[in-house]
């Protein structure tokens, strides 16, 4: 069992190495949403639908978070550049 979980962790870690930040954040959101949706769906009677809905909502949330982070980074760079020009 330890080998399987170690292999899964290695695949998950290395599988994201060639992904963009947007792809990583969207996929992470989908994974977290699916996990939460499965738990909620199991309580309501349909774990499959809960996981599917949770994955969709999580992916959207991950994407929106990514866009917010990119906007903050762009604004920081713009301010930094303006500060450098003012010297």
The tens digit of pLDDT for each residue in 35-87 reads 999 888 888 788 888 899 999 999 999 999 999 999 999 999 999 999 988 76
Give residue 66's pLDDT: 95
Instruction: Please say if the pLDDT value at position 1 is more than 50.
Output: no
32-37's contacts with Cβ under 8 Å and 24+ in sequence apart are 32/58, 32/62, 33/57, 33/58, 33/59, 33/61, 34/58
Instruction: Please say if the pLDDT value at position 26 is more than 70.
Output: yes
Running DSSP on this structure, what letter comes out for residue 19? S
């Amino acid at each position: 069992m330890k080998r399987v979980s170690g292999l899964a962790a290695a695949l998950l870690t290395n599988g994201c190495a060639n992904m963009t930040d947007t792809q990583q954040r969207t996929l992470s959101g989908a994974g977290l949403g699916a996990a939460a949706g499965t738990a909620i769906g199991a309580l309501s009677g349909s774990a499959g639908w809960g996981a599917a809905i949770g994955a969709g909502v999580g992916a959207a949330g991950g994407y929106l978070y990514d866009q917010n982070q990119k906007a903050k980074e762009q604004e920081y760079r713009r301010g930094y550049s303006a500060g450098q020009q003012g010297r």
